[in-house]
Structure 1
Amino acid sequence: MSAKSIFRHTLHKIEQHPGAGVTFEAECLWCEWKAGPSTGGAAVDFAWMSHTGRSGHSGFRRVCTSFAMVYVPSGGPYGSSGQRTCRTRSAR
């Protein structure tokens, strides 16, 4: 007996998670200095400008983190809410 695969294409949306915001962080490229996570980008900018003033280091890696969800819009195979419910694959 051979195995079969079925691929189905559906429309989907990717959106930011409604309960989570964006988090900003910064890391100096010259030393181990880091600005911890903050929900305000301006606070991180101020922290790294202060670090630059004290150390002369001007290169930073800025990290912006957000959380996203993928879902099928209403009317799709996951029901009217558009939210995917937990489904397990049946053993064959």
Structure 2
Amino acid sequence: MTRAVLRYVSHRITAHPDSDPAVSARCLHGDCPWEVHARSSAKAVDVECMQHTGLTGHGIFARTYEDVAVVVRNE
């Protein structure tokens, strides 16, 4: 008879310490093609969205936040 030993190891996921999150946005008003490509500053993206609203009156945006994650064992 073959026996197996199963061991469970606890892990956690966190943002990679050597990377910055990237933020982008796009206008959701009708067929508006306006978008902000990925930036490392959410505040800079927000300012660009507000400027777009001021120029066009479009006020609804989809914002995307992306980061690099790393999974490590819990000690």
TM-score range, shorter chain: 0.7 to 0.9
Give the number of the structure whose residues are more often strand, by fraction: 2
Q: CA deviation at 1:41?
A: 0.9
2:28: which partner in 1? 29
Structure with larger RCO (C-alpha < 8 A, sep 6+): 2
CA RMSD across the alignment: 1.8
Letter in 2 for 1:65: E
User: Unaligned stretches of 5+ in structure 1?
Assistant: 1-5, 75-92
Q: Within 5 Å, which residues of 2 pair with 1:2-81?
A: 8-30=7-29, 31-74=32-75
Q: 1:41-73: per-residue Cα shift (whole Å, max 9, x none)?
A: 111011011111111110000111111111213
User: Residues of 2 paired with 1:32 and 1:9: CA distance?
Assistant: 49
Larger C-alpha radius of gyration, 1 or 2? 1
- TM-score, normalised on structure 1? 0.67
User: How many residues are paired up?
Assistant: 70
Structure 2: segments with no counterpart, 5+ residues: none
State the 4+ residue runs in structure 1 displaced beyond 4 angstroms: none
Counterpart for residue 87 of structure 1? none
Deviation at 1:39, TM superposition (A): 0.8
Q: Percent identity between the aligned chains?
A: 33
